[in-house]
């Protein structure tokens, strides 16, 4: 593809071919079956359902009139395998290979919905057939996951059909680099990796930095346990990340990008690698992109299993093939990043927001969210909650809406106890604060953090001392060992907690934990150490009584800790 | 030609050279070369480390430093199948302890160990991102098995000879 005109033509013809996915019946095709191909549904054996469906279609002689598309993660992992059948947008769940025949022969051929496979809201007698009517989806706002119900992640034409690469075209032909940066600044987008720094300012610093060449890096080292948003984006819509990075390349004057992905995500790596190849073949990466003279290309770097590499300076060091140890800042990556050159480093989700901001404008984006946190946020809901999976909501949505309305509440009529956000750097928020609007600042004020978006729900059977111990065990294991507050301090904290959880705690232990935690926060080298004590501090703040029961009464009310006599 | 007794293998040496070739003299490729080398040999014995150090122009100490830093690399041989039990938060609150206990009883090994018949290596990993299917484990780095319960684990293992 050598010009914007060609891009527009592909969009037009593909869009027409995909009308059926917007609900418009087609003269030549009976249905498009969008089968969720996220890692969750794949492990629930959705591929066997696909095979069975293909067989049923051939048997009935309509294989040519029905497309089966494996999409990215649709979100509701616990209902997997799930599928949406267009044009009527019927949502089916918990599919088994034997259900394929019914969908083909009843639904697709006769137009009768297969009642037993439809979604039913908790407590509702009647099913909700249409995907857009289901509460879980209706209450969401999709920007980052805009394509997840609509495109085949392995088809660049599908991506183009839904305005893909139009933002890159706009950035290359209608905007000066400074204007792009200004637009991103005005959108109010803040880093979705968790720290929440202004993305536009970061780009501005890098553009202004002396030194060349410059680099664009994507952090896909999603290491927080309980977080799988980035994985869903990379698997479901890899081109959105590629496009976002290319736009940044134009804005800061970089020609090379790197995506750093965890080795634990093989499917994400495969889909991204394929997308990069397709973008190159179509002239959307490489030399002279869209005939504008702009050059940009991307390489994948695969992480090798070190949590600390999610920290920006550690990640950059790891890209260079070294031990991924963090280093003090400044200099910040904007001045000295990969190979010591000016570098923009953003998280997967941040990148996926960029095309939408450039295409629809900063004002439209900034209209969503709260005063200081704009746009949407993708969360991974897991733990003791009915609807586990991926959701995307406007910033400012309350925890109660997320947990009880979208998440469907707590299973087995148990009581909600807390929600843990931000993984090992975050904290536990108790029931009293369920009406808190979720944004960077309000979560920070509660002693938790937004983090990358993992939300683990805990119920009355979860022991908070045990949870705190779990996170410290994680940190002790993953501390790189370079600075002593983190290496030694977290280890000592773990030992104290371990004693408490075994009924060997002493008076003064809680105060000692707080003192150690405060010192580590103030003195550790990088973000990992500086935030490592948060899970302990927040559980002491809200659940001090549980600590005291373990210490004084040698008792774990939840019966989780194994107390020694 | 005199046979060498360091444990290296002629055929593997040649294949390893091919992996190293695109990165020769380029220390930045170390992690990628190690990843491919481990896929080829199964682990990273000393002769592999020496060959890589010489090929990329880095010290052996640096190669060893990188290998021991990252959890993915192993200095000892592994089993034919690697069972990685997820110990992320969601799995933890839903039963990682049970999964590990069941596997320890079935295989009679602890995390980090390999069965005497070299069939399985057991390890714990930090979140495989399948939180919706907790508790979960991943076998051979690609097959996710979720919603695990003690009764279904033996059936899962049977699929791997």
Claim to verify: residue B85 and residue B147 sit in the same structural domain: yes
pLDDT confidence bin for A545, thresholds 50/70/90 = very high
Q: How does the average pLDDT of chain A come out, rounded?
A: 95
Claim to verify: residue B19 and residue B50 sit in the same structural domain: yes
Claim to verify: residue B98 and residue B33 sit in the same structural domain: no
The length of chain A is 565
CB of B34 within 8 Å of a chain A CB? The answer is yes
| Contact across the interface for A458 and B93, Cβ inside 8 Å | yes
- Give me the mean pLDDT over the A385-389 stretch: 90
Is the pLDDT confidence value at B6 over 70? no
The angle, 0 to 180 degrees and rounded to 10, between the axes of the packed helices B10-20 and B46-56 is: 30
Claim to verify: residue B87 and residue B151 sit in the same structural domain: yes
Q: Which of A51, A39, A38 is nearest to B138 (CA)?
A: A39
Which own/partner contact pairs does A516-521 have at CB distance under 8 Å and 24+ positions apart?
A516/A489, A516/A492, A517/A493, A519/A485, A519/A489, A520/A485, A520/A486, A520/A489, A520/A490, A520/A493
Q: A76 contacts in B (CB within 8 Å)? A: 132
| Contact across the interface for A226 and B127, Cβ inside 8 Å | yes
| Contact across the interface for A380 and B73, Cβ inside 8 Å | no
- Give me the mean pLDDT over the B28-46 stretch: 93
- Give me the mean pLDDT over the A426-454 stretch: 94
pLDDT confidence bin for A451, thresholds 50/70/90 = confident
- For residue B25, tell me if it sits in a domain: yes
Widest distance between CA atoms in chain B: 59
pLDDT confidence bin for B7, thresholds 50/70/90 = low
| Contact across the interface for A43 and B144, Cβ inside 8 Å | yes
Using CA atoms, how far residue A387 sits from A39, A85, A407, B75, B126, in Å, is 16, 21, 5, 41, 22
Claim to verify: residue B31 and residue B97 sit in the same structural domain: no
- For residue B76, tell me if it sits in a domain: no
Residue identified by tokens 């290596």 is B121
Alpha helices in B75-141 (DSSP H): 89-94, 96-107
Claim to verify: residue B45 and residue B97 sit in the same structural domain: no
Q: Is B131 annotated as a binding residue?
A: yes
Distance between CA A472 and CA A478 in Å, rounded?
A: 10
Q: pLDDT at position B8, please?
A: 67
Domain count within chain B: 2
| Contact across the interface for A318 and B88, Cβ inside 8 Å | no
Q: CA torsion sign, A349 to A352 to A358 to A363?
A: negative
Using CA atoms, how far residue B43 sits from A132, B72, B160, in Å, is 50, 10, 20
Claim to verify: residue B58 and residue B93 sit in the same structural domain: no
Distance between CA A371 and CA A78 in Å, rounded?
A: 34
- Give me the mean pLDDT over the A305-332 stretch: 94
| Contact across the interface for B90 and A389, Cβ inside 8 Å | no
Q: Is B4 annotated as a binding residue?
A: no
| Contact across the interface for B72 and A44, Cβ inside 8 Å | no
Q: B92 contacts in A (CB within 8 Å)? A: 225, 470
Q: B136 contacts in A (CB within 8 Å)? A: 43
- For residue B145, tell me if it sits in a domain: yes
Q: Which site among B127, B138, B140 would you substitute to test the A interface, given the most A Cβ atoms closer than 10 Å to its Cβ?
A: B127
Distance between CA B89 and CA B96 in Å, rounded?
A: 9
Q: pLDDT at position B3, please?
A: 52
Using CA atoms, how far residue A146 sits from A8, A141, A356, A395, B7, in Å, is 20, 9, 9, 16, 54
Select from A264, A302, A304 the Cβ nearest to the Cβ of B128. Answer: A264
Distance between CA A179 and CA A551 in Å, rounded?
A: 59
- For residue B75, tell me if it sits in a domain: no
Q: Mind spelling out the 3-state secondary structure of A491-558?
A: HHHHHHHHHHHCCCCCCCHHHHHHHHHHHHHHHCCCHHHHHCCHHHHHHHHHHHHHHHHHHHHCCCCC
Q: Is B6 annotated as a binding residue?
A: no
CB of B134 within 8 Å of a chain A CB? The answer is yes
What chain B residue is nearest to A472 in terms of C-alpha separation?
A: B89
Q: pLDDT at position A178, please?
A: 98
Claim to verify: residue B87 and residue B141 sit in the same structural domain: yes
- Give me the mean pLDDT over the A151-177 stretch: 97
Is the pLDDT confidence value at A306 over 80? yes
Q: Which helix (H) or strand (E) holds A457?
A: strand A454-459
| Contact across the interface for A301 and B32, Cβ inside 8 Å | yes
Residue A558 and residue A462 in contact, taking contact as beta carbons nearer than 8 Å:
yes
- Give me the mean pLDDT over the A59-74 stretch: 95
| Contact across the interface for A383 and B93, Cβ inside 8 Å | yes
- Give me the mean pLDDT over the B16-28 stretch: 93
Residue A467 and residue A535 in contact, taking contact as beta carbons nearer than 8 Å:
yes
- pLDDT per position as a tens digit, B64-94: 999 999 998 999 999 999 999 999 888 998 8
Is the pLDDT confidence value at A406 over 60? yes
Of A121 and B37, more confident: B37
Q: A266 contacts in B (CB within 8 Å)? A: 141-142
CB of B77 within 8 Å of a chain A CB? The answer is no
- For residue B136, tell me if it sits in a domain: yes
Select from B28, B32, B126 the Cβ nearest to the Cβ of A307. Answer: B126
- For residue B36, tell me if it sits in a domain: yes
Q: B129 contacts in A (CB within 8 Å)? A: 39, 222, 227-228, 231, 264-265
Is the pLDDT confidence value at A457 over 80? yes
- For residue B150, tell me if it sits in a domain: yes
Q: pLDDT at position B4, please?
A: 61
Distance between CA A339 and CA A335 in Å, rounded?
A: 11
- The range of the structural domain enclosing residue B113 comes to 81-158
Q: Last residue of some domain: B43, B69, B95?
A: B69
Give phi and psi for A373, each to the nearest 5.
-125, 105
The SS3 of residue B112 is coil
| Contact across the interface for A382 and B143, Cβ inside 8 Å | no
Is the pLDDT confidence value at A134 over 70? yes
Structure tokens at A22: 């917007």
Q: A39 contacts in B (CB within 8 Å)? A: 129-130, 144
- Cα distance from B136 to chain A (closest Cα, Å)? 10
Claim to verify: residue B95 and residue B152 sit in the same structural domain: yes
Q: A80 contacts in B (CB within 8 Å)? A: 132-133
- Give me the mean pLDDT over the B102-114 stretch: 95
The residues near A353 (Cβ < 8 Å, ≥ 6 apart) are: A143, A144, A189, A192, A244, A365, A375
- Count of CB atoms situated within 10 Å of the CB of A523: 14
What chain A residue is nearest to B64 in terms of C-alpha separation?
A: A323
Q: pLDDT at position A488, please?
A: 97
Select from B70, B73, B89 the Cβ nearest to the Cβ of A225. Answer: B89
Is the pLDDT confidence value at B1 over 50? no
Q: Last residue of some domain: B29, B47, B69?
A: B69
- pLDDT per position as a tens digit, A262-285: 988 888 999 999 999 999 999 999
User: Bridge-partner residues for A32, per DSSP?
Assistant: A67, A86
- For residue B5, tell me if it sits in a domain: no
State how beta strands A427-430 and A254-261 pair.
Answer: unpaired
Q: Last residue of some domain: B36, B69, B102?
A: B69
Claim to verify: residue B15 and residue B57 sit in the same structural domain: yes
ω into A246 cis (within 30 of 0): no
- Cα distance from A316 to chain B (closest Cα, Å)? 11
Q: Which of B85, B60, B64, B88 is nearest to B74 (CA)?
A: B64
Select from B34, B126, B145 the Cβ nearest to the Cβ of A474. Answer: B126
Claim to verify: residue B90 and residue B133 sit in the same structural domain: yes
| Contact across the interface for B69 and A480, Cβ inside 8 Å | yes
| Contact across the interface for B90 and A231, Cβ inside 8 Å | no
Is the pLDDT confidence value at A130 over 50? yes
Q: A325 contacts in B (CB within 8 Å)? A: 69
Structure tokens at A166: 């139009």
Distance between CA A250 and CA B100 in Å, rounded?
A: 49
Claim to verify: residue B100 and residue B148 sit in the same structural domain: yes
Q: How far apart are the first and last CA of chain B?
A: 38
CB of B97 within 8 Å of a chain A CB? The answer is no
Residue A405 and residue A139 in contact, taking contact as beta carbons nearer than 8 Å:
yes
Give phi and psi for A383, each to the nearest 5.
95, -140
What chain B residue is nearest to A309 in terms of C-alpha separation?
A: B70
Q: B132 contacts in A (CB within 8 Å)? A: 40, 76-78, 80, 382, 388-389
Residue B108 and residue B115 in contact, taking contact as beta carbons nearer than 8 Å:
yes
Residue identified by tokens 């869209």 is A290
| Contact across the interface for A389 and B132, Cβ inside 8 Å | yes
Select from A39, A263, A266 the Cβ nearest to the Cβ of B72. Answer: A263
Q: Is B127 annotated as a binding residue?
A: yes
Look up the CATH number of the domain holding residue B87: 3.40.30.10
- Give me the mean pLDDT over the A424-435 stretch: 96
Select from B70, B129, B143 the Cβ nearest to the Cβ of A304. Answer: B70
Domains in chain A, please, with CATH? 19-137 (3.40.30.10), 156-366 (3.40.50.11540), 376-459 (3.10.20.600), 464-553 (1.20.1440.230)
CB of B131 within 8 Å of a chain A CB? The answer is yes
Is the pLDDT confidence value at B126 over 90? no
Of A305 and A494, more confident: A494
């Amino acid at each position: 593809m050598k010009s914007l005109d060609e891009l527009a033509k592909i969009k037009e013809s593909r869009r027409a071919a995909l009308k059926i996915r917007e609900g418009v019946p087609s003269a030549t095709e009976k249905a498009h079956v969008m089968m969720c191909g996220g890692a969750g549904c794949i492990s629930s054996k959705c591929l066997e359902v696909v095979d069975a469906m293909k067989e049923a279609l051939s048997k009935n002689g309509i294989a040519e009139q029905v497309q089966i598309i494996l999409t990215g993660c649709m979100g509701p992992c616990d209902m997997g395998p799930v599928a949406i059948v267009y044009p009527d947008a019927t949502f089916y769940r918990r599919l088994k290979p034997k259900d394929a025949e019914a969908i083909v022969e009843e639904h697709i051929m006769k137009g009768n919905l297969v009642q037993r496979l439809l979604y039913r809201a908790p407590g509702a007698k009647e099913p909700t057939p249409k995907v857009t009517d289901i509460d879980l989806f209706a209450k969401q706002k999709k920007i980052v996951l805009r394509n997840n119900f609509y495109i085949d992640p392995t088809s660049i034409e599908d991506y183009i059909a839904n305005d893909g690469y139009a933002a890159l075209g706009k950035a290359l032909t209608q905007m000066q680099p400074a204007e792009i940066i200004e637009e991103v600044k005005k959108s109010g987008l803040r880093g979705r990796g968790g720290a929440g720094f202004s993305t536009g300012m970061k780009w501005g610093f890098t553009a202004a930095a002396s030194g060349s060449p410059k680099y664009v890096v994507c952090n896909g080292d999603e290491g927080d346990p309980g977080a799988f948003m980035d994985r869903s984006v990379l698997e479901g819509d890899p081109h959105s990340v590629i496009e976002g990075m290319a736009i940044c390349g134009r804005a800061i004057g970089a020609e090379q990008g790197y995506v750093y992905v965890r080795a634990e995500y093989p499917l994400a790596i495969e889909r991204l690698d394929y997308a990069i190849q397709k973008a190159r073949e179509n002239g959307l990466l490489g030399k002279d992109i869209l005939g504008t003279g702009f050059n940009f290309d991307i390489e994948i770097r695969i992480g090798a299993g070190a949590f600390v590499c999610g920290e920006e300076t550690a990640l950059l060091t790891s890209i260079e093939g070294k031990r991924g140890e963090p280093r003090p800042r400044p200099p910040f990556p904007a001045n000295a990043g990969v190979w010591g050159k000016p570098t923009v480093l953003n998280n997967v989700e941040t990148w996926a927001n960029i095309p939408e901001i450039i295409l629809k404008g900063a004002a439209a984006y900034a209209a969503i969210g709260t005063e200081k946190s704009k746009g949407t946020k993708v969360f991974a809901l897991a733990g003791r909650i009915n609807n586990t999976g991926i959701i995307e909501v406007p910033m400012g949505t309350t925890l109660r809406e997320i947990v009880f309305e979208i998440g469907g509440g707590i299973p087995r009529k148990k009581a909600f106890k807390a929600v843990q956000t931000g993984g090992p750097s975050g904290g536990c928020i108790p029931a009293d604060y369920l009406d808190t609007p979720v944004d960077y600042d309000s979560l920070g004020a509660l002693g938790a953090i937004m983090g990358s978006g993992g939300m683990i729900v805990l119920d009355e059977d979860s022991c908070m001392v045990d949870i705190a111990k779990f996170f410290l065990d994680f940190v002790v294991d993953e501390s790189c060992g370079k600075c002593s507050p983190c290496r030694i301090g977290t280890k000592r904290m773990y030992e104290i907690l371990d004693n408490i959880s075994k009924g060997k705690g002493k008076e003064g232990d809680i105060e000692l934990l707080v003192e150690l935690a405060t010192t580590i926060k103030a003195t550790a080298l990088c973000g990992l150490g500086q935030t490592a004590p948060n899970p302990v501090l927040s559980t002491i703040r809200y659940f001090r009584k549980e600590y005291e029961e373990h210490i004084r009464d040698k008792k774990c009310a939840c019966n989780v800790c194994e107390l020694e006599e | 030609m005199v046979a060498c007794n360091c444990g290296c293998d002629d055929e593997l040496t040649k294949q390893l050279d091919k992996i190293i070739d695109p990165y020769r003299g380029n220390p930045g490729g170390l992690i990628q070369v190690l990843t491919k080398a481990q896929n080829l040999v199964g682990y990273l014995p000393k002769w592999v480390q020496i060959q890589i150090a010489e090929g990329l122009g880095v010290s052996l100490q640096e190669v060893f430093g990188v290998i021991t830093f990252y959890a993915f690399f192993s200095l000892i041989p592994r089993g034919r199948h690697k069972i990685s039990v997820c110990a992320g938060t969601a799995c933890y609150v839903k039963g990682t302890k049970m999964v590990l206990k069941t596997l320890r009883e079935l295989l009679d090994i602890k995390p980090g160990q390999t069965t005497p018949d070299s069939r399985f290596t057991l390890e714990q990993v930090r979140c495989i991102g399948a939180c919706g299917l907790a508790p979960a484990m991943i076998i051979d780095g690609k097959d996710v098995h979720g919603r695990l319960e003690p009764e279904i684990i033996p059936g899962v293992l049977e699929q791997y000879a």
